[in-house]
């Protein structure tokens, strides 16, 4: 695990003060830079040692066969795996005859800093070579938010004695990748997936164009260099096979500095010709040269200033969480900022985990955050889903269903899950997409989006539910044989989460069709169909266990045998790696918030009393073997009044990657959990809900947090919420002078107008209900006692 002291607590930086080879792969994920289009793992400039080399382009994948010992109808035959594309990060250094390598000689100091405001990864080191030469290296890397196809590295060298310096800067394709474990969460390793199509070498750079063998995608990577330093610097380039190298040589004296700015451009296409892709990266490189290094840094800073101005969350009293929530928001932005009609994967572009696939994580955890902070990115992501509708319709036909069946996991839109009980059967994804559409439309009033894109997504998902479910002889609507969010319970009837989300989907589709009758008509929707949706929604069966006074997460769940937690060793978590699914499926053991998630996102469907009882019941049975759970448990813990527990879960969600809590940060960061830190703060401690497009808050702070401040974009205005232990102030920024927002504060209706902040007292929490207890050994780390 990453030891806490590796990253000292600072508000705007993640600093690594020394290089720890044992956690190299984790730190490569933590220090990954991305803009939603390009992703560079935080590999050392010189390429080795490495944990896992990684350079990714959103949606650039290779196909691979999905072998089955026993195949079945409708099983996907081919999977998609993200490709480690041409690595442009490599910069090797030779001081006199000796290659700089942190494993040799004496690494006197080594520091890396992720600058959350500057959007750069900075590295500074002092190294004494085995022959005793002292060299200083300072590098800064960025993946541009403003120039989507561009990344850049500024590499500076200085010396204590006159030395001959050789810098070799490379583009390398088909890097050898380390063997992977058998953990199902890691990626398949592809052997040399790229076939070279063109290599071009110029004096100060070059480019390479490759194509994947099976998916037929073409990728171009180009590099150019700007060199500054002593006189008589020689620059030359060469290339063979899968690499191009630019070599920069000079004599460096003490007091002098060699500075190499490496500009990188990436482009890929499934359709464009080789000359077109070549020109595309050429143009991107020209744009980067035009801005220059200083210009790129200034644009990056300006972009982030705007982002933080709206999105920053201030937490006083727990500086570790303060740092972690900013780190999380930074990675959420990196995953989605410039994805532009491409998916946002579960790991963003920080590692190959889960093969680079997008799951429901994005709609239910990432998009809610972006909706209130960077709504344009949400529209883009949902437009991507929309662009895959034909594939989803085809999949629904294969499954004998109407409407659209979106893939459980994918890169390009085809189903890639080889395990249908926790894949295809996870139909709730359809309602999760619909939920994201409805929230985005409520928050932005983007009518054009709703007409063009949103309505069709709502209609096709509503059609899916109507064909997947059925009315029983008493008229109740059931959705049978599906899997809810908890993957330790599969193929069940009437999963409460799924049914409540489908209910919202069906009603949302009918309402949206009424708002856009012409477009609905064009989609073949008539009154009979919308009436059928409303009928299914209002007759939706929600199981309830009268005897225990709780909701079973799906029909019959509370009747199942209990899991023997007392005899489960701590090193047998996650359970999926130590117990067969058949045993997990028939016991009351919950991998991740399921009914508890329903109580958050469909909180309007439960009474407070039900929330209290249900939460206590599921706390005892939830093991959090998924990183998607802690944030939701935080939200409900806050709602039922256990603010300390809410704080503990918030800490777990926020520190998931900085502390490598799930022990797989090496494969990439957990974007949904990091987004979940925002959710835990805003929806948990802030008590924000948006049911039916109405904003409500119920803020309360745990003992250690003395202040919480956050802002939300709401219909073009910016609402700021400032919470202190005994009072909260709501204020409005932007919008015209008459603008105002109606909201509720702990049930009291308020109107907040521009220039007229409203302050209200915070009522004390009155926890009621049974004591909250987790399975033995599964309680989250306590935060109340920690000192800053």
Contacts of 51 (CB under 8 A, 6+ apart): 24, 25, 26, 27, 28, 178, 666
Tokens of 646: 């809410």
Q: Which is nearer to ligand BGC, 207 or 339 (CB)?
A: 339
Q: Among the candidate windows 337-345, 353-361, 432-440, 741-749, which touches ligand BGC by CB under 6 A? A: 353-361
Among 115, 175, 361, 450, binds ligand BGC (CB under 6 A): 361
CA–CA distance, 169 with 166 (Å, rounded to integer): 10
What length does the chain have? 788
Q: Check whether 347 is labelled as a binding-site residue.
A: no
The residue nearest ligand BGC at its CB is 359
592 binds ligand BGC (CB under 6 A): yes
DSSP sequence for 710-740: EEEEETTEEEEEEE-SSEEEEEEESS-TT-E
Residue of 487, 529, 555, 639 with catalytic role: 487
- The answer to whether 611 and 632 have CB atoms below 8 angstroms apart is no
363 binds ligand BGC (CB under 6 A): no
Tokens of 730: 């709501």
628 binds ligand BGC (CB under 6 A): yes
- The answer to whether 422 and 490 have CB atoms below 8 angstroms apart is yes
Among 56, 359, 384, 449, binds ligand BGC (CB under 6 A): 359
Closest CB 36 distance from ligand BGC, rounded Å: 18
Q: Cα-atom radius of gyration of the chain, to the nearest Å?
A: 27
Q: Which is nearer to ligand BGC, 92 or 428 (CB)?
A: 428
Residue 302 appears among annotated catalytic residues: no
Q: Specify the residue for token string 């290339």.
A: 239
307 binds ligand BGC (CB under 6 A): no
Q: Which is nearer to ligand BGC, 304 or 636 (CB)?
A: 636
Q: Check whether 256 is labelled as a binding-site residue.
A: no
Distance of CA 589 to the CA centre of its chain: 26
CA–CA distance, 332 with 344 (Å, rounded to integer): 9
Question: Residues 138, 247, 157, CA angle at the centre, nearest 5°?
Answer: 20
CA–CA distance, 669 with 2 (Å, rounded to integer): 13
429 binds ligand BGC (CB under 6 A): no
673 binds ligand BGC (CB under 6 A): no
553 binds ligand BGC (CB under 6 A): no
* Selection from 645, 658, 770 nearest residue 704 by Cα: 645
Q: Which is nearer to ligand BGC, 354 or 477 (CB)?
A: 354
427 binds ligand BGC (CB under 6 A): no
CA–CA distance, 556 with 543 (Å, rounded to integer): 9
626 binds ligand BGC (CB under 6 A): yes
623 binds ligand BGC (CB under 6 A): no
573 binds ligand BGC (CB under 6 A): no
DSSP sequence for 220-242: EEEEEEEEESSS--EEEEEEETT
Closest CB 628 distance from ligand BGC, rounded Å: 5
Q: Which is nearer to ligand BGC, 360 or 440 (CB)?
A: 360
Q: Check whether 587 is labelled as a binding-site residue.
A: no
Q: Check whether 714 is labelled as a binding-site residue.
A: no
CA–CA distance, 554 with 567 (Å, rounded to integer): 26
Closest CB 286 distance from ligand BGC, rounded Å: 39
Closest CB 486 distance from ligand BGC, rounded Å: 8
Query: CA of 74: how far to CAs of 229, 355, 359, 400, in Å?
Result: 62, 21, 19, 10
Among 100, 308, 330, 360, binds ligand BGC (CB under 6 A): 360
CA–CA distance, 408 with 341 (Å, rounded to integer): 18
Contacts of 524 (CB under 8 A, 6+ apart): none
146 binds ligand BGC (CB under 6 A): no
772 binds ligand BGC (CB under 6 A): no
Among 487, 642, 648, 690, binds ligand BGC (CB under 6 A): 487
489 binds ligand BGC (CB under 6 A): no
Q: Among the candidate windows 358-366, 367-375, 457-465, 717-725, which touches ligand BGC by CB under 6 A? A: 358-366
- Residues forming contacts to ligand BGC in the complex (CB under 6 A) are 346, 354, 359-361, 485, 487, 591-592, 626, 628
> Where is the binding site, in residues?
360-361, 591-592
> Where is the binding site for substrate, in residues?
360-361, 591-592
Catalytic site residues? 487
């Amino acid at each position: 695990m990453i030891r806490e002291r590796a990253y000292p607590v600072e508000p705007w930086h993640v600093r690594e003060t020394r290089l720890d080879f044992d956690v190299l792969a984790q730190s490569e994920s933590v220090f990954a830079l991305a803009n939603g289009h390009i992703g560079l793992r935080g590999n050392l400039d010189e390429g080795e040692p490495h944990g896992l080399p990684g350079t990714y382009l959103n949606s650039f994948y290779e196909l691979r066969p999905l072998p089955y010992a026993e195949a079945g109808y409708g099983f996907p035959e081919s999977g998609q795996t993200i490709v480690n594309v041409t690595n442009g990060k490599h910069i090797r250094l030779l001081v006199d005859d000796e290659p700089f390598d942190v494993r040799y000689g004496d690494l006197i100091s080594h520091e890396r800093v992720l600058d959350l405001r500057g959007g750069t990864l900075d590295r500074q080191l002092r190294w004494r070579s085995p022959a005793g030469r002292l060299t200083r290296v300072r590098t800064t890397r960025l993946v541009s938010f403003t120039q989507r196809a561009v990344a850049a590295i500024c590499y500076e060298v200085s010396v204590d004695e006159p030395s001959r310096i050789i810098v070799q800067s490379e583009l390398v394709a088909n890097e050898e990748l380390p063997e992977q474990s058998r953990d199902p969460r890691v990626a398949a390793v592809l052997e040399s997936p790229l076939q070279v199509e063109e290599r071009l070498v110029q004096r100060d750079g070059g480019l390479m164009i490759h194509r994947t063998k099976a998916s037929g995608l073409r990728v171009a990577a180009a590099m150019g260099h700007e060199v500054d330093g002593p006189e008589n610097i020689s620059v030359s380039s060469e290339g063979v096979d899968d690499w191009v190298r630019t070599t920069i040589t000079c004599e460096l004296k003490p007091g002098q500095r060699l500075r190499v700015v490496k500009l990188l451009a990436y482009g890929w296409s499934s359709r464009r010709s080789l000359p077109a892709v070549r020109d595309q990266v050429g143009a991107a490189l020209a744009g980067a040269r035009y801005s220059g290094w200083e210009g790129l840094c200034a644009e990056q800073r300006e972009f982030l200033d705007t982002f933080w101005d709206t999105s920053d969350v201030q937490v006083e009293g727990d500086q570790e969480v303060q740092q972690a929530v900013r780190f999380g928001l930074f990675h959420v932005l990196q995953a989605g900022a410039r994805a532009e009609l491409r998916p946002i994967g579960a790991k963003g572009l920080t590692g190959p985990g889960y093969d680079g696939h997008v799951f429901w994580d994005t709609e239910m955890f990432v998009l809610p955050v972006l909706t209130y902070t960077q709504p344009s990115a949400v529209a883009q992501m949902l437009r991507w889903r929309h662009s895959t509708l034909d594939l989803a319709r085809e999949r629904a036909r294969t499954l004998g269903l109407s409407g659209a069946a979106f893939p459980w996991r994918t890169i390009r839109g085809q189903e890639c899950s080889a395990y249908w009980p926790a894949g295809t059967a996870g139909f709730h994804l359809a309602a999760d997409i619909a939920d994201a559409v409805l929230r985005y439309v409520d928050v932005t009033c983007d009518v054009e989006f709703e007409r063009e894109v949103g309505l069709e997504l709502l209609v096709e998902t509503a059609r899916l539910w109507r064909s997947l479910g059925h009315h029983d002889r008493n008229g109740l609507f059931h959705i049978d044989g599906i899997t809810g969010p908890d993957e330790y319970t599969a193929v069940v009837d009437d999963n409460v989460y799924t049914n409540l989300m489908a209910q919202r989907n069906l009603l949302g589709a009918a309402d949206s069709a009424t708002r856009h009758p012409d477009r609905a008509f064009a989609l073949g929707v008539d009154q009979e169909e919308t009436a059928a949706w409303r009928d299914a929604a209002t007759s939706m069966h929600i199981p309830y266990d009268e005897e225990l006074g709780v909701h079973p997460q799906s029909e019959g769940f509370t009747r199942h045998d209990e899991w023997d937690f007392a005899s489960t060793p701590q090193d047998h978590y996650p359970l999926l790696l130590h117990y067969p699914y058949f045993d997990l499926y028939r016991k009351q053991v919950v991998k991740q918030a399921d009914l508890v998630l329903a109580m958050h996102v469909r909180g309007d469907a439960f009474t407070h009393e039900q929330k209290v009882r249900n939460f206590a019941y599921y706390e005892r049975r939830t093991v959090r073997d998924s990183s998607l759970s802690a944030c939701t448990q935080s939200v409900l813990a806050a709602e039922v009044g256990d603010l300390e527990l809410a704080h503990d879960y918030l800490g777990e969600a926020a520190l998931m990657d900085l502390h490598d809590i799930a022990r797989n940060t090496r494969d990439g960061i957990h974007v949904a959990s990091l987004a979940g830190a925002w959710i835990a703060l805003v929806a948990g401690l802030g008590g924000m809900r948006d049911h039916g497009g109405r904003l409500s808050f119920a803020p309360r702070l745990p003992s250690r947090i003395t202040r919480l401040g956050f802002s939300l974009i709401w219909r073009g205005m910016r609402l700021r919420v400032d919470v202190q232990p005994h009072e909260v102030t709501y204020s409005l920024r932007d919008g015209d002078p008459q603008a105002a927002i109606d909201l509720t504060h702990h049930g009291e209706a308020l109107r907040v107008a521009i220039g007229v902040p409203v302050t209200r007292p915070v009522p004390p929490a009155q926890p009621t209900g049974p004591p909250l207890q987790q399975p033995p050994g599964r309680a989250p780390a306590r935060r109340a006692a920690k000192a800053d």
